[in-house]
Amino acid sequence: MFEANYHESLVPNYELPDPLVTQDGAAVSSSDWGKRRAEILSLFETHVFGKTPDQPIRVRTQVMSETESLGGKARRKEIRLYFTDQDTRPYLDLLIYLPSSASGQVPGFVGLNFQGNHSTTPEADVILSDQWMRAKGAGVVDHQATQEARGTSASRWAIERIIDRGYMVATAYCGDLDPDYDDGYQDGIHPLFHSNGAVPADDEWGTIGAWAWGLSRALDYFETDDEIDATRIAGMGHSRLGKTSLWAGAQDERFALVISNNSGCGGAALSRRRYGETVGRINASFPHWFCNNFRQYNENEDACPVDQHMLIALMAPRPVYVASAEEDRWADPKGEFLSAKYADAVYRLLGTDGLDAEDMPPIESPIQSRIGYHIRSGGHNVTDYDWDRYMDFADIHMR
């Protein structure tokens, strides 16, 4: 039986791979960073998340709705992205709120949600997802959303606060891309790339890879919408979807800013610390999230050629924000902080500031240098406090 370690004294000694030394042992200068970056990205593809196919998919869009919202402060749009020539699944429904006051193209935030777009807002006319839902409760019966599911995740989506600060916010249901269960990749978007029941190879993408692919398709859409400034988009995600926003931002440098909210193991937390959730445990509970090769590092973290500080470093020199919660020990807040800290050297090499902190800051004392970090009180969640800090950070680094 797995028992998580929550004692700092029982964190084993470990040595982290150096993002600034190549696999051949050569020191990396700023002019070599591009090459080293490609090497690290390829290591994450092969050993952690799996390669994303580069076969292009023609995406068709359909405006499903467009209306005033929030008492006229916002305009709301629902845009469906079809990935085949048929009007059938898989497709991705983007729910977009734009500030009415905006003149010109607006910057903003995009992130996937856990429970369907209808869960992020109480507005009764948003499309109620008929897609499979993992969670039980919160208006979900037999894995299907009911009307009672409307707004059940609204506290995690500070839509009105975001609009009030002049940003766009867009979200989509992760299950539109790949339902969150281990089905051998026979639904969602995987079959578009692996036909006739074929499965991804050991170094090819799993579910997180599919979700990250979808965030890039949202960005493709923003590039075609002249109300949105696609060059100033922050990719944001919580928990498994924070692992996803990091992986999307690592692969797709069009994301101007990347936010990891309580992303934990396989996200911002250092795997070698083996504090809270571990690689072995996550691969056992969620065998479909990462590539099969990642299982080689179950109880064998030191053998992995990367650790998660190198995922943060793949954002450099773009602004990146890592957020933890005090009671979220499963996600290892200190391990999340240390990833941010050990990515700092790459930012400095590239001539920007990195993380302006040696040690973990106290609760609710955000650091807003080019690498941002905060730990707030409370548990595993996304709160207004988190969103307010992300907007402060975006004001500094993306406006």
Binding site for ligand GTR (CB under 6 A): 239-240, 264-265, 277, 282, 285
For the question of residue 239 being annotated catalytic, the response is yes
Angle between helices 240-251 and 207-224 (to 10 degrees): 60
CB of 98 to ligand GTR, least distance (A): 28
CB of 285 to ligand GTR, least distance (A): 6
CA–CA gap between residue 241 and residue 253 (Å, rounded): 18
Q: Which is nearer to ligand GTR, 140 or 282 (CB)?
A: 282
Neighbours of 388 (CB within 10 A): 15
CB of 143 to ligand GTR, least distance (A): 17
End-to-end CA distance of the chain: 49
Contact between residue 14 and residue 302 where contact means Cβ atoms under 8 Å apart: yes
- Residue type for position 377: S
Bridge partners, residue 82, by sequence:
60, 91
CA–CA gap between residue 209 and residue 180 (Å, rounded): 12
Extract the runs of DSSP E, i.e. beta strands, from 270-377. Answer: 320-325, 367-368, 371-376
Q: Which is nearer to ligand GTR, 113 or 369 (CB)?
A: 113
CB of 379 to ligand GTR, least distance (A): 11
Q: Which is nearer to ligand GTR, 16 or 265 (CB)?
A: 265
Nearest of 382, 261, 223, 250 to residue 315 by alpha carbon:
250
Whether the CA torsion 368, 261, 308, 53 is positive or negative: it is: negative
CB of 286 to ligand GTR, least distance (A): 7
- Distance from the Cα of residue 68 to its chain's centroid: 29
Bridge partners, residue 249, by sequence:
none
For the question of residue 380 being annotated catalytic, the response is yes
Neighbours of 86 (CB within 10 A): 9
**Where do we find the tokens 């983007």?**
94
Q: Which is nearer to ligand GTR, 207 or 239 (CB)?
A: 239
- CB hemisphere CA count around 351 (13 angstroms): 4
- Measuring CA to CA, how many Å separate 187 from each of 94, 191, 253? 19, 6, 28
> Do you find a cis peptide bond into 366, omega within 30 degrees of 0?
no
Residue nearest to ligand GTR (CB): 239
CB of 242 to ligand GTR, least distance (A): 8
Q: Which is nearer to ligand GTR, 277 or 336 (CB)?
A: 277
**Where do we find the tokens 């707004």?**
151
241 three-class SS = helix
CB of 264 to ligand GTR, least distance (A): 5
Token representation of residue 341: 């800290």
Q: Which is nearer to ligand GTR, 240 or 288 (CB)?
A: 240
Of 100, 143, 216, 380, which one is the catalytic site residue?
380
Q: Which is nearer to ligand GTR, 121 or 271 (CB)?
A: 271
Of 69, 239, 260, 271, which one is the catalytic site residue?
239
Q: Which residues are catalytic?
A: 239, 380
